[in-house]
């Protein structure tokens, strides 16, 4: 999550150079802006879900390793 919201990307910069002059341009401007925001939010969401999945896998591995160590040490596992 080290990616910051980039307000200086080329799409944002290009769209801010030409202010909408009529309803059709305003609609297109808003549509492009919403699509850009939706894409960025989807990318962030995908990264978050991927991170959570990776964390879950690491927790599973950790539980397995702890169980193996307990077995090697002759300790009985506690009921969950």
pLDDT tens figures, 21-55: 889 999 999 999 999 999 999 999 999 999 999 99
4-25: per-residue pLDDT in tens? 445 555 555 455 556 778 899 9
- Structure pTM? 0.57
The per-residue pLDDT for 3 is: 47
pLDDT greater than 90 at residue 64: yes
For the chain, what are the domain ranges? Answer: 30-74
pLDDT greater than 80 at residue 61: yes
34-68 burial code (b ≥16 CB/10 A, e <16): eeeeeeeeeeeeeeeeeeeeeeeeeeeeeeeeeee
């Amino acid at each position: 999550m080290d990616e910051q919201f980039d307000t200086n990307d080329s799409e944002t910069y290009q769209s801010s150079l030409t202010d909408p002059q009529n309803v059709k341009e305003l609609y297109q401007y808003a549509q492009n802006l919403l699509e850009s925001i939706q894409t960025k939010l989807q990318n962030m969401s995908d990264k978050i879900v991927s991170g959570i999945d990776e964390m879950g896998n690491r927790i599973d591995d950790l539980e397995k390793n702890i169980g193996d160590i307990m077995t090697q040490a002759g300790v009985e596992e506690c009921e969950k």
